[in-house]
Amino acid sequence: MNGRPTDGGILYDGSESDDEDELVEVSESERPAPAIEWAEGQSETEGLKGAELIQAFVKLLPNGPGVYRMLNETGDVLYVGKARSLKKRVSNYAQGRGHSNRIARMVRETANMEFVTTRTEIEALLLEANLIKRLRPRFNVLLRDDKSFPYIVVTGDTRAPALYKHRGARSRKGDYFGPFASAGAVGRTINSLQRAFLLRTCTDSVFETRTRPCLLYQIKRCSAPCTGEISDEDYTELVREAKDFLSGKSHAVKQTIAAAMADAADNLDFERAALYRDRLAALSHVQSHQGINPAGVEEADVFAIHHEGGISCIQVFFFRTGQNWGNRAYFPKADPALPANEVLSAFLAQFYDDKPCPRQILLCEPVSEQELLAQALTEKSGYKVSILVPQRGEKKDLVDHALANAREAHGRKLAETASQARLLEGFAETFKLPYVPRRIEVYDNSHIMGTNAVGGMIVAGPDGFVKGQYRKFNIRSVDINPGDDFGMMREVMTRRFSRLLKEEGKPDRTKEAHEEAGFPAWPDVILIDGGQGQMTAVRAILKDLEIEDCVVAIGVAKGVDRDAGRERFFARGRESFTLPPRDPVLYFVQRLRDEAHRFAIGSHRARRKKEMVKNPLDEIAGIGPTRKRALLTHFGTAKAVSRAGINDLMAVNGISASVARLVYEHFHEDATK
């Protein structure tokens, strides 16, 4: 058995595949520098499986810390774990005694193992969380929703700073406040902050080219620094007040504004006093929507878990600068037999894998390896992170409040899941399916006279809509006549299932495979928003791909006069039929179709809007955002740029002679002849 170091942050999986998707990226900060990848011992493990295979590996493993991966016969990762001693941890799997059903099944399916040694157990913990999020093994606790959180940014690279919602890397200079629980919470806060501090929210290009105040100035939601309606000094003071408020100094800011309002009233300047009154009301509106604002908790995340009925709900509250920035409920995928503290521990490691960590984390109950997790987050963050389980006082009240919210969200989820299960059972009975579907895909197209055509696919399953699986298809074919819905559907079906065949192969439709845990990649049923013509096009594609027996295709045609409740259904081997007007399955199908319709129209509108606001400068190769901004700032509009001569273009900062000629020739084709 040979060991080799990882190369440039890439952990090799030991296989001989050339597929780049098999590589797992690990960021420089999270990658354990001296990690060693241990290749499988072919001579010792060849032909073995399950406990015998694991026992063969145990003889070759070191006693040091590291991460192990268990793989099945097809190379899929079943489980990722970390250990203080690889030899001791892996040997537990080989004993075959005292295992839960989940562990026993995992051991039986193991056909290969891979190992990475690390210097410390902390590095192993960070690497484990990183790999779990990227590989999504079937037997691990999985964080289902790991989108980055939105922030509010007050920019710092312009004459008049702007107020924006921000998500992603903090590449722009400015002050960032958050995280907020949702984009809606950010939007509501920015709305109120506009009324309270009159900061601009327009883009820099609009700000630089305004010649008169916009509507926001007229309705008293912006102070119009673009046209000089407010001096730079006064606008800077508004920015300072906004930053102070977002930094937790809300009481001082309100006192200052209240004093200014009283002073204006004493001077009989009632119009100005009314402006300060409205600003105070806006600040009160922000705080009233934040709920509890603890006085003794400056910066903390509060976690509470409620585990019952095979479902875990984790409620997270975010407190920054002494203010409550919202909460969110998570439902991680985990084995029902796992205790709540193990689920919460695994969740925390994945949660902070790509998110900034506060200095304090409050939990409703102790978790396994709590001290190790705190050390790992401290090392990752660069400052001390403490994990506490408060027993009394204000912090205990916060945890109890989060736990109450977790119980309520859990109850709602159980009710929704039970209702969804009944609907899926009714759906299977109505359409005479061999089993209850676990994945339903619904397709719809949207366009205006064939322009900006988009196909939409939504996905539903036992837990309702699975929005992370939604897909849109920009119609690319030039052979499709404008408005040809059949041709669009043929392209969507071809692209969707050709890729699915390439990535997943044909599905196993046996009863055992259907009952296997995990959300399937292949749909059991596809619903098409259309009648017999659409179904003919779809079935032709499925037949060409030789998968007509792998997927049940059902058409949903709008009723007479397009009335909801009179839909006609088209399925293979049956005459078209309708359902009773009050049938719950009919309502279920209508809800699926309406969601597909909403998604397709939204995707079409986004594409159409992008085309409408497309700038001619975007079409010039070599003109990026910086040069584009410089040209628009100098000339005002793209039309003025198109009329400029080469010498005028060269006068712009950052535009060289070669770039100026490139721009000039783009707008003056005759110049190249």
The whole-number pLDDT of residue 26 equals 38
**Residue-range domains of the chain with CATH:** 3-135 (3.40.1440.10), 151-288 (no CATH), 300-412 (3.30.420.10), 440-610 (3.30.420.340), 616-672 (1.10.150.20)
Amino acid (1-letter code) at residue 510: T
Residue keyed to tokens 């009723």: 559
The whole-number pLDDT of residue 80 equals 92
Q: CA–CA separation, 327 vs 318, rounded Å?
A: 6
User: What pTM was estimated for this model as a whole?
Assistant: 0.64
Average pLDDT estimate for 289-306: 74
Q: CA–CA separation, 555 vs 574, rounded Å?
A: 12
pLDDT in tens, 57-73: 888 888 889 999 999 88
The whole-number pLDDT of residue 559 equals 66
Quick one: what percent of the chain has pLDDT higher than 90? 6
Q: CA–CA separation, 238 vs 253, rounded Å?
A: 10
Beta strands in 137-230 (DSSP E): 151-155, 163-166, 174-177
β-pair type (3-5, 36-38): antiparallel
DSSP assignment, residue 639? Answer: H
Q: How confident is the model at residue 2 (pLDDT cuts 50, 70, 90)?
A: very low
pLDDT in tens, 178-199: 777 777 778 877 887 887 788 8
Of 528 and 95, more confident:
528
The whole-number pLDDT of residue 561 equals 58
Coil/strand/helix, residue 418: helix
The whole-number pLDDT of residue 72 equals 87
Of 124-128, 268-272, 358-362, 511-515, where does mean pLDDT reach its minimum?
511-515
Token pair of 68 as six digits: 């192990």
Q: How confident is the model at residue 516 (pLDDT cuts 50, 70, 90)?
A: low
The whole-number pLDDT of residue 105 equals 86
The whole-number pLDDT of residue 146 equals 57
Selection from 312, 370, 308 nearest residue 343 by Cα: 312
The whole-number pLDDT of residue 304 equals 93
**Surface-to-core class of residue 147, CB atoms within 10 Å of its CB (0-12 exposed, 13-18 middle, 19+ buried):** exposed
Selection from 593, 553, 551, 557 nearest residue 578 by Cα: 557
Q: How confident is the model at residue 147 (pLDDT cuts 50, 70, 90)?
A: low
Q: CA–CA separation, 643 vs 662, rounded Å?
A: 14
